[in-house]
Chain A
């Protein structure tokens, strides 16, 4: 009897608390859903969901909405989490277009059938753009950065290395730092580029093994690697060109140099093959806007010390004045459909053999 009544008392008490908890949860749900409803009904057009890791994406989506009236929902995050979201939700995708750096990721998505093929906007490509266009037109290049740029402190390093082989010399023992490809999206294309340049995976592994023997220091991403450079832990940092040039703009003691050859890292947009037709049409308009003069202006002004420091892929659009000329630099393009499928294997090797 006592047990029964105690149970009833508990039920009453717990019931009151549960009702309160539900009310709060419902309140949270209502506020959220009302917000999204308001967003989707503010215009008759469907909402374009943009997944982007670009520093100027907020400025770009705002400008696009202003120019076209198309409502945009922006998911701005690093490349890794965005790709993780896409892979986790691929049986019921929620994105309209993806805008990140690195063609290998797009090749991987394309090979899984997740990208719309065959769209090429009306654009007057320059040579960088021509080199970055995929044959099946499953993604569209919007700019190019280089991987990796050599960043150093001019006051401490008066005679920086001129070739990739010189990084292996005892003079630079313990002085070279780079990013971890498992944490830094642009770093795998750099490693793949070195393997491509050196004649294959085995030669590339041999090169990085020697670099490790010479005291290579790995940091997670561009920011920490540059921090290691400025704090004096390393003397030479191998990072994405836009990060390096951005650091130079903030610290005049730093300088950037490109070693021969340097790998092109296109920033690109791919459209979700499973998105509704109306959203895919809007995504195509978004790409055309990005490649228009107005869009290029936004790209070059939206993140002046970061992603705006890119090399344009269109005729008639000049890079920002702070970017070093590519006239005397040999660039190379890696085939993303060859190197993309090797990414997991090579990254795992790099993690177990070079990082550890």
Chain B
């Protein structure tokens, strides 16, 4: 039987493929796996390793006199650095849990119930993702700081100031940042969870809570992915660390690391030592994830998956659910939105409440202010497209048990998750150390300070997160989907396009948008690797914010977010209009 399935049953009706195309495909197929690993080695492993090796051998990169030393690693365990790393560990864990605690119910409400306004939830989540983490932090700070907007409006609430300008506020902001990751991962997981499982539980007499107890473990890959991403993203976040946490005198590891590099002369080995510890910290969620999922299969998406039915919420239930979701968006979007927009409409550093469009006029008419936005748009489109292709391959290797050894999966998993945890600024420094080596220049590889290297770094830094987001959906794919297409006479690519692509099209679109948003306003990598004369949006915005053009910087931020919103709307709208109805229906839900 296996032998029969190995070959299409109806070879006679399959049109013969041109020999050249077949040869090319076969040639590419043989090279695919080593080529993919080669790309990972050169774009992720070596730059990361260069950065980390620097910790013990600064002389190797002309950053000190010692060929071998452990002094920088020892230094990371002492004084202010140790405090910062401890803070980062517990704050990131709390933020990841908060992200799942909010993201999971919101995903279920939006995906499986008749929640009022559910159509806007996904869009809102994208908006939360669009905002670079420093923007909500600045918005909150502007609201609650002494003599901030809250006090000007007559709300004398020092307790709120104290709470937000401290560890609680930091956890809140990082947790809110983790919510979209949880939402996307759980939504993808829910999409593959057909109605039949819930029906089976209910038929066998399970209560709603009993059905929930059946379903939640089936979502374990998505939940663990969300926790791992939330932890890794939080521990490597720089935006909150450099704004709200910094201004609250609450030191986080990434800021401490940044200080080591930004001081003069910078200490790259000290920064790398902290980077090593942060990467090691990722072993915690990874170990927990592996322990929780060990030996189990979560392949449940097949051709027979039935569409789920939306649960009808009662009127009070719908009101409570809508209020809860609205509260989340007010906290995550309303406050930072208010902060950014108000900052962009004030001309005199926010000294008065008189509104003006002078900052927007400056962005639109002054030379060099719009170029960075256009540039970042192009980088984000290229970066997202390549990243999603690579992310899908990585997710496939990680999720599919056939054809991939467990050792290969483990190595890939650790490499990708480590890259998420490695702070971007250390990642970018690794790119400089490796791609600017004199030996590479002698070989004619002069990539440092080119747009090419910047885009490669964007892709390499986004690929781990992208693969994580796709893994939830890919792990649910049953090989029978493509086998069925092959059985019916489709060629290799056609079988993939007809059997697999429809099922994963929605997660692919989501992963593309996630990468697009991440790259569009990415700061630390851009700051170190951009090509001279071609600053991306984030660099231009930071330059304005840090100097005498705060209002112009805020106006640029608002415009950047608006541009990204339009791009997201165009992609989502395009998918809705252009994707075949069947693609959109798979993994979707119908009204009950």
Query: Which A residues are within 8 Å of any B CB, using their own CB?
Result: 1-3, 5-22, 24-25, 28-29, 31-33, 35-36, 49-51, 55, 58, 73-78, 80-81, 83-85, 87-92, 94, 104-105, 108, 112, 153, 182-183, 188, 219-224, 226-227, 229-233, 243, 246-247, 250-251, 253, 305-306, 343-344, 347-348, 351-352, 355-356
Contacts and interface: CB of A to CB of B under 8 A. Distances in A.
A348 B429 contact: no
B429 A21 contact: no
B545 A88 contact: no
Contact of B146 (A229, A233, A251, A343): A233
Contact of B436 (A81, A92, A220): A92
Contacts of A83: 264-266
A231 B349 CA distance: 8
B451 to A, nearest CB: 4
B450 interface: yes
B351 interface: yes
A22 B389 CA distance: 10
B438 A92 contact: yes
Main secondary structure of the interface of B (DSSP, over half): helix
A61 to B, nearest CB: 9
A11 B29 contact: yes
Contacts of B459: 25
B62 interface: yes
Given A32-B452, A306-B548, A231 B266 contact: no
Contacts of B35: 15, 18, 22
Contacts of A18: 28, 31-32, 35-36, 39, 389, 393
Contact of B532 (A2, A75, A231): A75
A311 to B, nearest CB: 17
A14 B349 contact: no
Main secondary structure of the interface of A (DSSP, over half): helix
Given A18-B28, A77-B543, A28 B492 contact: no
B347 interface: yes
Q: Which of A50, A87, A183, A232 has the most CB of B within 10 A?
A: A87
19 contacts: A7-B403, A9-B492, A11-B30, A13-B29, A21-B39, A25-B452, A31-B451, A32-B451, A77-B527, A77-B543, A80-B264, A87-B63, A229-B351, A232-B147, A233-B145, A250-B349, A251-B351, A347-B263, A352-B80
A219 to B, nearest CB: 8
B432 A344 contact: no
A348 B262 CA distance: 11
A220 B33 contact: no
Nearest to A87: B266
B412 to A, nearest CB: 13
A84 B262 contact: yes
Contacts of A351: 80, 259
Contact of B350 (A5, A108, A230): A230
A12 B462 CA distance: 24
Given A28-B455, A73-B533, A88-B429, 4 more contacts: A2-B6, A10-B403, A21-B389, A58-B368
Contacts of A92: 436-438, 441, 448
A25 B263 contact: no
Given A7-B403, A16-B493, A92-B438, A77 B535 contact: yes
B256 to A, nearest CB: 9
Closest 7 CB pairs of A and B: A230-B351, A15-B28, A75-B532, A15-B32, A11-B29, A12-B29, A7-B403
A105 B264 contact: yes
Given A11-B32, A352-B80, A73 B532 contact: yes
Contacts of A344: 263-265, 267
